[in-house]
Chains A and B, each alone.
Chain A
Amino acid sequence: MPATLRARFDAFRRFLNTPGFGRRVVLLLVIALALKLAVNVTAFVIIDRTAQQDALSRSFQEIRRASRSVLIGVLSAETAQRAYLLTGEAAREAEAMEGLREVDRALMVLGTAASRDADLAPLVEEVRATARDKAQELGVTLDLARSGRVTDAVRVMATGQGQALTDRLRSGVGAIDDLVGRRLAAANSASTNGLRTVGVVNGISSVLIISLAIAIFWLLRTYIADMRHKQLELDRLNAGLEDQVRDRTLALTRANEEIQRFAYIVSHDLRAPLVNVMGYTSELQSAGKALEAQLAAVEAKSPKLVQPDAVAAIREDVPEAIGFIRASTEKMDRLINAILRLSRDGRRALHPEKIDLKTLASGAAAAVHHQTDAQGAEIEIGDLPTIESDRLTVEQLLGNLVDNAVKYLDPGRPGRIRIEGAHRPDGMVEIRVTDNGRGIADRDLERIFELFRRAGKQDRPGEGLGLAFVRNGARRLGGDVEVTSVAGEGSTFSLILPRRLTVTASGEPA
């Protein structure tokens, strides 16, 4: 796994080090993503800060409310005190006490807030002190009134001390109010600034992202245009290539036809002079016979006239020369016929049909029945599949291989020939002819398939045609022939043919 990871990483690094379309787009996308991330982070920070400001504002509002509650509590207690002094109603007294409790509660809230705020603490302390004094003054008057000394209470009130305390309280609360007001204004402006920053950052990054998008779009457009251009170029080249292949195939087909025709014409044109050579050799032979008769007559009548040179010429040299001319011409005729046959086989239309190779092999074995019987050899036929091919050609190929196997058996041991075959996974059929004959030396393994070439001891008749035919025929059927051999032990010839031969309408191999 680490290896694959490293390979991936290397590939990625190579990608980054290679200038080009991909790297540019990736770079732009990375920049766009980074911008988006920066905007998000900014917004997050600002929102967080605004939330803090909001919390602060709320606590300021609370302080303001509490300070005002102190004032309101004092004022309502004062109002109730005055009403009590005037009416003596117990409910008014309760109202006054309620007002004072309200003041206590508000002071408690203020106290808590002041403990966290150094600026606020002295102001709250002032208010608290004033409120306490005021509460005390109210308490004194209410006590006097409760004990029926209303006049004394009024007198206390008339000193104006109470009023002065109220005024002081009002200004104290006012001071708190101002402080809170200033603080709120500051908080507000901070959050307005934050929002403005978010807006600006958003705006700038939007502009940048849009520019990046335009850049990527432009890159893509250029790239696609480039691709299309290259595609067209490729199509053009491909079309050219197809044309080339067609031209070459046509040229090859023509060359092949040319060779076939050439072989055919040459064979015929070579035959014509051969007819003359053979014909006039025979004429010479009959002339020689006439001369021989003449010589015999002269010998009988007047032996002195006979020259020994003439006798040697007529009885030995001429017949010998004629014999060699004849043998060579006959051989040449066989060779020409072989070329002719090869050329004809190459032009014969093929007719694919279903062939049971087992039956075919039995036929081939039966054809050499006489030779095998005479040599005490055996032909064994193993498993063989069916094939769809040209019957005549396959018959000839197999026949040739079996002929060869029988022909080159080792006289020193009983001949064993085995014909077997099977389908191969690549859609071919392999037919093996194995013998325990004399075998073929390694250096001859390729030569034996060439026309007029033979290998090993030249003690059997033949012109070196059979295997050339086999190779020619096998290739025409879309296959080939192979050989493995150990000299002195035996050979295996493998005929490899397509399971199904396909031909064109004219019977040419497709």
Chain B
Amino acid sequence: MTTPVKIVMVEDDHGHARLIEKNIRRANISNEIAHFADGGSALDYLFSDEVKANGPLLILLDLNLPDMSGTDILQKVKGDERLRRAPVVILTTTDDKVEIQRCYDLGCNVYITKPVDYESFADAIRQLGLFLSVMQAPDIE
């Protein structure tokens, strides 16, 4: 039996984090969610022994973080021999074309703009949940 995918959410806005979590749960996704409010602690966790020892990961990443840009984290994750296979979903307010391109260039798997309109937002998260429920994440070893 495969280990369930663990969701690592890097989001500095607690309101956003809670809304994302609520909507993921509403989509009947019960995977464990680890939430980090800044880039530093998220990186510490991603490169810790605990993560190395445990199963597959999915990273939900915001770009506007207080201590660094989300793209820095993306770059480090995609530059790491083990972590680079983990799917990264960028979930952010920025809908700047250049920024989106840059993220895909760095190897992000999905880029989602947080719409201000809540219905669309909730919808997007639910769809993401559906997506997660069928997604196969590779093992990290």
Task: Judge whether B121 is part of the interface by a CB distance below 8 angstroms.
Answer: yes
Known: A268-B64, A329-B116. A275 touches B94 (CB 8 A): no
Task: Judge whether B122 is part of the interface by a CB distance below 8 angstroms.
Answer: yes
Interchain nearest-CB distance for A274 vs B (Å): 5
Task: Judge whether B50 is part of the interface by a CB distance below 8 angstroms.
Answer: no
Interchain nearest-CB distance for B76 vs A (Å): 23
Give B97-141 as 1s and 0s: 1 = Cβ < 8 Å from A's Cβ atoms: 000000000000000001011110110000000000000000000
> Pick the contact of B116 from A269, A271, A283, A344 — CB < 8 Å?
A271
Q: Return chain A residues, CB-CB under 8 Å to B13.
A: 272-273, 275-276
Name the residue on B nearest A285 (C-beta): B118
Q: Return chain B residues, CB-CB under 8 Å to A344.
A: 96
Name the residue on A nearest B93 (C-beta): A271
Interchain nearest-CB distance for A463 vs B (Å): 15
Q: Return chain A residues, CB-CB under 8 Å to B119.
A: 282
What total of chain B residues lie within 8 Å of the partner, measured CB to CB? 16
Q: How far is the CA of A214 from the CA of B106 in the complex (A)?
A: 83
Task: Judge whether A278 is part of the interface by a CB distance below 8 angstroms.
Answer: yes
Assess the B93–A333 pair: CB atoms within 8 A.
no
Q: Return chain B residues, CB-CB under 8 Å to A269.
A: 64
Which of A274, A276, A279, A282 has most chain B Cβ within 10 Å? A279
Name the residue on B nearest A264 (C-beta): B96
Task: Judge whether B16 is part of the interface by a CB distance below 8 angstroms.
Answer: yes
Interchain nearest-CB distance for A7 vs B (Å): 66
Interchain nearest-CB distance for B16 vs A (Å): 6
Q: Return chain A residues, CB-CB under 8 Å to B117.
A: 278, 330, 333
Q: Return chain B residues, CB-CB under 8 Å to A275.
A: 13, 15-16, 19, 93, 114, 116, 118, 121
Q: Return chain A residues, CB-CB under 8 Å to B121.
A: 275, 278-279
Known: A278-B116, A279-B118, A333-B116. A272 touches B64 (CB 8 A): yes
Q: How far is the CA of A485 from the CA of B15 in the complex (A)?
A: 50
Name the residue on B nearest A281 (C-beta): B118
Interchain nearest-CB distance for A84 vs B (Å): 149
Assess the B15–A279 pair: CB atoms within 8 A.
yes
Assess the B116–A274 pair: CB atoms within 8 A.
yes
Assess the B16–A276 pair: CB atoms within 8 A.
yes
Q: How far is the CA of A255 from the CA of B32 in the complex (A)?
A: 47
Can you list 11 A-B contacts (CB < 8 A)?
Answer: A264-B96, A272-B16, A272-B64, A273-B15, A275-B121, A276-B16, A278-B116, A279-B122, A283-B19, A333-B117, A344-B96
Please list the 9 inter-chain residue pairs (A to B) with the smallest Cβ-Cβ separation, ordered nearest first. Answer: A276-B15, A282-B118, A278-B118, A279-B19, A333-B116, A271-B93, A279-B118, A274-B116, A272-B93
Known: A278-B116, A282-B118, A333-B116. 4 other contacts (CB 8 A): A271-B116, A275-B15, A275-B121, A280-B19
A interface residues (Cβ-Cβ under 8 A, vs B):
264, 268-269, 271-276, 278-283, 329-330, 333, 344
